[in-house]
Each structure stands twice: as C-alpha cells, then as structure tokens.
Amino acid sequence: MSPVEGGERSGRRQQRSVTERKAETEQAGSEVRDLGSEENHQKTETSGGPRKLLDSMAIHLMNRPRDFDVVLTENLFGDILSDESGVITGSLGMLPSATLGGKVNLYEPVHGSAPDIAGQGKANPVGAILTAAMILRHSAGLEREAKIIEDAVIATLEEGNRTTDIARGNVAGQRTVTTTEMGKLIFDKVKTALAKS
C-alpha cells in the first residue's frame, strides 16, 4: 500500500495511522519515510500520523494495540509486526492479511500453511475466513458481504467455540472444535444472514 493510500484508508476509518521505519534501513525505509511525510501531507486529510522506529513500534503495538488503525510499512517490517500481533489475538490463526495498493492486491492469512498440523483438524480457519472478508471489501467493493462474514466469526466465537490454538483451560461455556467444525459453524451463520438479506 502506498503512503497516500494508507493515509486515505486511515481517513476512512478512525484516522489513526502510523508510518513505521527503521533508522538503519537505507533505501526501503527512507522511501517510506519520505513518501509518508510529503505525499500524505499533500493528498490526504491525515498527516500520515506519527513516525516510529520498528523496535519502538513493536513495543507500542503490544502495549496499546487499539491506538493503531493503519500501520504503513514495507513488507519485511509488516511481516514482523503482523506476526507479533498474533499474541494480541491469542493466535496467528486469527489474523487476516493483505498487501494493498500495488497493481494487484495480495491476500493471505498471517499463519501460513502450518504443515506440521496439516490434516489433524487443529488449524484455525478464522484468519483465512477473515481474509476472504478483506477480499470482498477491498477488491470487490462488497462491504455488506464482508461485514456478514466478520459478524459470523464474532458470533461463533462469542458462542464459546474455539479451535485448539485459542482454547484456554477449563473455561465455562468454551467448546473445542476442529478446523472443519469451526468453518461450518461460521459458514452456517453466513448462509443464514445472506438468506435474510
């Protein structure tokens, strides 16, 4: 995503954005810094927000995640910060991901393919499902459908359904489900919501 697009997305949301950089980075980091400070000032209502160093940003993201709506960074640092964000949600399996603003938008759940648990029913499908919602919103312009998916995920989790990566001890009302079961629970809610609309 370009700094201008990052500023525009932030402006459409809560207007909280930050440009991340690493002082030791010569070319890529300085390009983000320059574009974030000049183009955002000229072309968007947001100023691109404060600029932070990667190590400082990592600490702030963990301590006050709600302070950040849009984080504008290059891919390498974005990978680091998005993996760290898995701690906030309880698991990498919960996180959708997108690289936006190029010729082609790229989408993937943060967790990768998890070959060590393939076929065991342990993988959390929520990140992949929420990634589908991002595709609908950002590439297809289907906000209502994206929201239906997100609401179905929230409702399924609020019912206490958990894959093994987010199940926590002997919690009342919590039910451990497989990958397939979690996907079906969410799918059924999406199907019901679409039938009503």
Q: 125-167 pLDDT, tens per residue?
A: 999 999 999 999 999 999 999 999 999 999 999 999 999 999 9
Q: What is the pLDDT, as a whole number, of residue 88? A: 86
Domains of the chain by residue range: 1-89, 90-197
3-state SS string for the chain: CCHHHHHHHHHHCCCCEEEEECCCCCHHHHHHHHHHHHHHHHHCCCCCCCEEEHHHHHHHHHHCHHHCCEEECCHHHHHHHHHHHHHHHCCHHHCCCEECCCCCCEECCCCCCCHHHCCCCCCCCHHHHHHHHHHHHHCCCCHHHHHHHHHHHHHHHHCCEECCCCCCCCCCCCEECCHHHHHHHHHHHHHHHHHHC
**Residue 98 CB neighbours (<10 A):** 16
- Contacting residues for 154 by C-beta, under 8 A, at least 6 apart: none
What is the per-residue pLDDT across 63-117, written as a single tens digit (0 to 9) for each? 988 888 777 777 788 888 888 888 888 888 999 988 888 889 999 888 877 889 9
Q: pLDDT > 90: what percent of the chain?
A: 40
Q: Which residue has the higher pLDDT, 119 or 31?
A: 119
The pTM of this model reads 0.74
Check pLDDT > 50 for residue 32.
no
